[in-house]
Amino acid sequence: MNIWPLRFRDLGRGSLLFADDAGGFFKGTEDFLDRYALNALTDEDQAFLHEGGHTFQRELDLSYLGFAYRWCARQAPRRQLGYVILVPTLRCNLTCSYCQVSRAPEGARGFDWTEDTLDAVLAFIGGLAAPEIKIEFQGGEPLLRLDLLERVRDFCRQRFGKAEFVVCTNLQAVSAEAWDYLAAPDTFISTSLDGDAVTHQRQRTRSTELTNAFFGNLDRAIEQFGSSKVSALPTIDIERPPAVDEIISSFVDRGLRSIYLRPINHQGFARRGRDPDVGLDRWNAWHAAFIEHLIERNFRTGTILEEYYFSQCLKRVLRAGADEHVDLRNPNFFASDYLVIDHDGVLYPTDEARMQSRIGRIDLSVGHVHHGIDTEKVATLNAASCNNFDPDCIHCPYQPFCGSDLVDDISRYGRIDLPKQATWFCRRHTSLFDKVFELLYRRDEATRFSLSRWADLESWPEHLVREHQ
């Protein structure tokens, strides 16, 4: 019998997590590890491994093909460009504390698409092969150029079988025309809601008047369009996080059930003098406590709230194909299924890459809308976009579930060759997956209630996760 290589990690109290390259995993003991390492597996060990799909007898037998299929399903990259992030203007009517680089003052000139750029953008989108398209309008504040939004939407609606639009807006000043625009069933709103009103004001709006305007608009949007058309993302300053209960009630009271907690990512001069990893341990601990809070609350109330990113990690552990989140995929090929077009027509693989380029740290642009994608540069970036062969990740049981984010490494450390365990990305995901596996092996009803709903199951089935004595 052949055993696919197993990686392992100490889970404490004498037990270890074992996982193979295809994402099959189980909990085992130190004794089992000894037997595995010393090639002294018992018949029971072998039967257990065989049942779990960790072995094969000969090439191309059923177990072999099952493993190969599961491995391939996890690697299969999305190859059709069908998601385009557009920055029609860099101008904004707010000055959020941590957003110095991706904005220009509201009255500035030269930060909007020209007529020429608009034409090129439409020609570029029109040339895509995908049958469906998703457009995300970013900024700056995209509602400042409602005219451009209208023209892009009109074009996409007639060009594609299905088109969806997300407007990432601060909901600060919404004109009557903008409300009409947002009312369309194919158009969605994404905004920021930094927990409670006090925090939101401190980090974003700065004045009570603006804060009230924002909450007024947010409530109106939800009331008028329903909570399924609105998503709100809190950006958390781990040095001054709002109270967990406050965050939750800001969301629940508005009928919002998915909360995507993001730590502030300082950019440009706001970062100078800061240790790039300040607050990481605090963040991990705070986030884990937030998850526990949700579990307790969900069980008590019988309703479900999720932390979006945690659910994403959970789904990635359980199955292939949970690739919706662009920062958590492997391989994470650049400019393959989504792309950013900046206010000046420059193409970037991600929004973060756009910021890094803007502050002059490194030029991560991958072409221009006039000339198309620079495939050579994309290939260079792609060479570093898999975790499969990373000298640290190959030893990590979380590798099949984890992703790779080389732009984040560049942004924080200016290089991509640090030992993984020294990076924010790795330490954050190690902590996240530790939490996922801790919960997967808990047996209490409260945990199972939340886990099942987060994984889109009706209830938590016995025997879903395996344990070897």
Partner 1 sequence: MIPLRFAARSSQPEPFVMRLNAEVRAYELDRTGLRTEFDGDLVEVAGQRLTYASPRGTLVIEGTTAEEVDGDVVLALPGGRAAQRLIRATSPHNTFLITERCDQLCLMCSQPPKHHHADLLPFFEAAALLAPAGMTIGISGGEPLLYKAALLPMMQRVLTHRPDLGFHVLSNAQHIDEDDLDPLVGMRDRVLWGIPLYAADAATHDRIVGKSGAFLQLMETLPIFARAGASIELRTVIMRENAALLARLASFVIMHLPFINRWALMQLESIGFGRQNWDRLFFDHSTEFTPIADALNIAKARNVEAVLFNFPRCTVPQPYRDRAPSTISDWKRRYLGECSGCQERDICGGFFEWYPEDRGFQRLARI
Q: What residues line the site for partner 1 (CB under 8 A)?
A: 24, 51-53, 60-66, 69-70, 73, 318-321, 452, 455-464, 466
Contact call for residue 203 and ligand SF4 (CB under 6 A): no
DSSP 201: I
Which of ligand SF4, partner 1, none does 469 bind, CB closer than 5 to 8 A by kind?
A: none
Contact between 137 and 168 (Cβ < 8 Å): yes
List, as one string, the DSSP characters of 204-251. II-SHHHHHHHHHHHHHHHHHH-GGGEEEE-EE-TTSPPPHHHHHHHH
**CB-side exposure of 379: number of CA atoms within 13 Å?**
3
Long-range contacts at 414-420 (CB < 8 A, ≥ 24 apart): 414/361, 414/362, 416/384, 419/392, 420/390, 420/392, 420/393, 420/396
In whole angstroms, the minimum distance from the beta carbon of 267 to ligand SF4 comes to 22
Contact call for residue 429 and ligand SF4 (CB under 6 A): yes
> Among all chains, which residue has been given the structure tokens 């970062």?
271
In the bound state with partner 1, the residue whose beta carbon lies nearer, of 293 and 466, is: 466
In the bound state with partner 1, the residue whose beta carbon lies nearer, of 187 and 447, is: 447
In whole angstroms, the minimum distance from the beta carbon of 70 to partner 1 comes to 5
Contact call for residue 86 and ligand SF4 (CB under 6 A): no
Q: d(Cα 250, Cα 192) in Å, to the nearest integer? A: 12
Number of chain positions touching ligand SF4 (CB under 6 A): 13
DSSP 189: E
Which of partner 1, ligand SF4, none does 396 bind, CB closer than 5 to 8 A by kind?
A: ligand SF4
Contact call for residue 420 and ligand SF4 (CB under 6 A): yes
Q: d(Cα 344, Cα 376) in Å, to the nearest integer? A: 21
Which of partner 1, ligand SF4, none does 66 bind, CB closer than 5 to 8 A by kind?
A: partner 1
What is the residue type of 378? Answer: V
Name the one range near ligand SF4 by CB under 6 A: 68-76, 175-183, 213-221, 426-434: 426-434
In whole angstroms, the minimum distance from the beta carbon of 416 to ligand SF4 comes to 12
In whole angstroms, the minimum distance from the beta carbon of 65 to partner 1 comes to 5
CA nearest to 229, candidates 238, 237, 220: 220
SS3 145: helix
Contact call for residue 328 and ligand SF4 (CB under 6 A): no
Which of partner 1, ligand SF4, none does 461 bind, CB closer than 5 to 8 A by kind?
A: partner 1
| Region 380-409 residues binding ligand SF4, contact defined as CB under 6 A | 387, 390, 392-393, 396, 398-399, 402
Q: Is the bond preceding 185 in cis, omega lying within 30 degrees of 0?
A: no
Q: Which positions lie near ligand SF4, rule CB under 6 A? A: 387, 390, 392-393, 396, 398-399, 402, 420, 425-426, 429-430
